[in-house]
Amino acid sequence: EAQVTQNPRYLITVTGKKLTVTCSQNMNHEYMSWYRQDPGLGLRQIYYSMNVEVTDKGDVPEGYKVSRKEKRNFPLILESPSPNQTSLYFCASSLWGKGDEKLFFGSGTQLSVL
């Protein structure tokens, strides 16, 4: 089954404790992206990647890191999480720029930073 898999679904952590949210897709998509969703603010793009080893900042990249060493994986790293990073995070992938820009979203990660 074609899908984008995010882990974990829920995460509670404390300020300053490094964490990684994993994202993997099995559709051979070159484009992958991370969004955060906050009430009243919609979906805001954190980082995106057009291909392996190619990443670009979105609208809200501060406090986040990403890496794209393999086509299927695009982890989101919070080196020193802060409470303002409490949010619902979505990973997505697509055939962006190849004729089908439909985003396939993962099931989301609800992160709480205390």
Partner 1 sequence: GENVEQHPSTLSVQEGDSAVIKCTYSDSASNYFPWYKQELGKRPQLIIDIRSNVGEKKDQRIAVTLNKTAKHFSLHITETQPEDSAVYFCAASRFVSGYALNFGKGTSLLVTP
Residue ranges binding partner 1 (CB under 8 A): 33, 35, 40-45, 48, 50, 56, 58-59, 90, 96-97, 101-103, 105-108
Closer residue to partner 1, CB minimum distance, 48 or 85: 48
* Strands (E) located in 1-114: 4-7, 10-13, 19-25, 31-38, 42-51, 54-57, 65-66, 76-78, 87-95, 100-105, 109-113
Closer residue to partner 1, CB minimum distance, 84 or 107: 107
Tell me how many degrees the CA angle 76-82-83 measures, rounded to the nearest 5. Answer: 110
CB of 73 to partner 1, least distance (A): 19
Closer residue to partner 1, CB minimum distance, 51 or 84: 51
